[in-house]
């Protein structure tokens, strides 16, 4: 199953080299990585130079530069226009996939009825502070929702059943989900395909990201009537959190604080979706999520997974 990997990057010099290093040594038997394309959008740091150096090491790697940052959907469309591969893998530039993540994702597409598969993101943050707790809390809920009804993020694989994304798309993975389902195919969750990331180290960045995502969900729903699994299962999700608190699986005060933060993000996101004149599809980067090297994920990833 020949596949192409796309990485959309904006000022990712702190992680792009480590990500490429991980991708070129992926363990595969069924999947065959034809090329790894980095679309560098409006980069003002050393991202392009690092990718150019990797181009010399591995013929599969190539760099495409976008002079100005037009949003992730625009970068995705540039990538899609440059490849004809039937199977596409997209991975965030500020993540670190497990050694078999590509294989496990692409294998999900061996079923002709499956059009998209999502990996399981695991944050490498500690659990010592309230902020770190919120990061783990949100991604654990993402996992629980996805086990019940597929929800994709951070790293995905999909079939080429559409030509391009709407350029003002705010949330690219849910938009792809909508297009795949519109084509009559299923979206599945592949929890064994693990991708590591770092959540923000401050509540301001968490609120900013959640606010933008919520606004993106709502605008997507307005345009396509598509609702993500977390939107469809919101009452089940609230019940699940309550049960986990009652069982002692979650600290009550911190869980309540995390829910309050999410409530504020949803109110602000709804306001943005309805009234904001800003270009929501051009995100302000969360700087504290960019340096995976600081947490040494290659050494500690198995311990975190466990």
Of the CA atoms within 13 Å of residue 288, those in its CB half-sphere come to 16
Alpha carbon distance 114, 239 (integer Å): 30
What confidence score (pLDDT) does residue 298 get?
Answer: 47
What is the average pLDDT across 69-85? Answer: 93
pLDDT of 176 higher than 70: yes
Per-residue pLDDT of 9-65, as tens digits, reads: 999 999 999 999 999 999 999 999 999 999 999 999 999 999 999 999 999 999 999
What confidence score (pLDDT) does residue 160 get?
Answer: 92
- In the numeric block, which tokens belong to residue 304? 């975190």
Per-residue pLDDT of 109-139, as tens digits, reads: 999 999 999 999 999 998 889 999 999 999 9
Name 289's Cβ contacts closer than 8 Å, sequence gap at least 6.
94, 197, 198, 199, 200, 205
- In the numeric block, which tokens belong to residue 239? 């019940």
Handedness of CA 127, 128, 131, 133 (dihedral sign): positive
What confidence score (pLDDT) does residue 299 get?
Answer: 45
Alpha carbon distance 167, 177 (integer Å): 16
What is the average pLDDT across 217-234? Answer: 91
At 276, the pLDDT band (50, 70, 90 cuts) reads confident
Q: What is the dihedral of CA 24, 27, 29, 30, to 10 degrees?
A: -70
What confidence score (pLDDT) does residue 295 get?
Answer: 57
**Domains defined along the chain, listed by start:** 2-305 (3.90.550.10)
pTM: 0.90
């Amino acid at each position: 199953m020949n596949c192409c990997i796309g990485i959309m990057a904006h000022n990712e010099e702190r992680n792009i080299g480590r990500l490429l290093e991980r991708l070129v040594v992926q363990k595969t038997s069924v999947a065959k990585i034809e090329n790894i394309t980095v679309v560098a959008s409006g980069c003002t740091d050393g991202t392009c130079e690092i990718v150019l150096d990797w181009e010399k090491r591995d013929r599969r790697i190539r760099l495409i530069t976008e002079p100005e940052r037009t949003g992730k959907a625009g970068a995705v469309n540039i990538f899609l226009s440059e490849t004809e591969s039937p199977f596409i893998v997209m991975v965030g530039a500020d993540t670190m996939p497990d050694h078999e993540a590509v294989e496990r994702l692409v294998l999900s597409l061996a079923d002709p009825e499956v059009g998209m598969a999502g990996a399981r993101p695991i944050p490498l943050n500690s659990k010592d502070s309230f902020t770190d707790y919120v990061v783990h809390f949100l991604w654990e809920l993402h996992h629980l929702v996805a086990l019940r009804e597929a929800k994709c993020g951070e790293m995905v694989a999909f079939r080429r059943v559409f030509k391009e994304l709407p350029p003002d798309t705010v949330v690219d993975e849910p938009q792809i989900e909508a297009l795949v389902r519109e084509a009559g195919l299923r979206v599945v969750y592949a929890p064994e395909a693990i991708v590591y990331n770092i959540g923000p180290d401050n509540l301001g960045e968490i609120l900013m990201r959640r606010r933008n995502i919520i606004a993106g969900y709502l605008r997507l729903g307005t345009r396509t009537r598509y609702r993500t699994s977390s939107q469809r299962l919101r009452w089940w999700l609230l019940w699940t959190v309550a049960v986990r608190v009652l069982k002692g699986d979650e600290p009550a005060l911190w869980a309540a604080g995390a829910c309050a933060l999410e409530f504020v993000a949803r109110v602000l996101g709804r306001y943005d979706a309805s009234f904001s004149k800003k270009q929501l599809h051009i995100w302000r980067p969360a700087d504290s999520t960019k340096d995976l090297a600081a947490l040494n994920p290659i050494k500690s990833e198995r311990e975190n997974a466990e």
